[in-house]
């Protein structure tokens, strides 16, 4: 279950991913900082915008052992990864 306080811009991106057929693998807290929320998708992002919305940072991780893309917003950071 996605916490209600998950950053709204990341939640919009997550909702688009779910509509595109992706699924949530896991939801974690307190990584990378206390108060952070991480939502990990089962597959790489399928419906990611070409340019992230203002307030969202994209980090291309490209590590198949972890995830391919990381989107961050807020402080402490919330992450959407896939």
Enumerate the domain spans of the chain.
1-40
Query: Does the structure show a pLDDT above 90 at 44?
Result: yes
81, pLDDT greater than 90: yes
Question: What pLDDT digit, counting tens, does each position of 10-42 carry?
Answer: 999 999 999 999 999 999 999 999 999 999 999
Q: Cβ–Cβ contacts within 10 Å for residue 34, how many?
A: 8
How far does Cα 33 stand from its chain's mean position? Answer: 15
What's the chain's length in residues?
A: 82
- Short-list 21, 31, 29, CA closest to 5: 29
pLDDT at 64 > cutoff 90: no
> What is the value of pTM for the model shown?
0.95
What is the distance between the alpha carbons of residues 30 and 36, in angstroms, rounded to a whole number?
A: 5
pLDDT value at 74 more than 90 = yes
* Residues 34 and 76: beta-carbon distance below 8 Å: yes
**For residues 49 and 2, what is the distance between their CA atoms, to the nearest angstrom?**
21
**Residue 75 pLDDT:** 97
């Amino acid at each position: 279950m996605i916490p209600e306080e998950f950053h709204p811009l990341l939640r919009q991106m997550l909702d688009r991913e779910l509509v595109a057929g992706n699924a949530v693998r896991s939801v974690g807290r307190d990584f990378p900082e206390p108060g952070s929320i991480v939502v990990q998708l089962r597959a790489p992002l399928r419906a990611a915008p070409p340019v992230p919305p203002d307030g969202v940072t994209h980090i291309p991780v490209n590590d198949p052992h972890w995830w391919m893309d990381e989107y961050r917003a807020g402080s402490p950071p919330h992450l959407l990864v896939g």
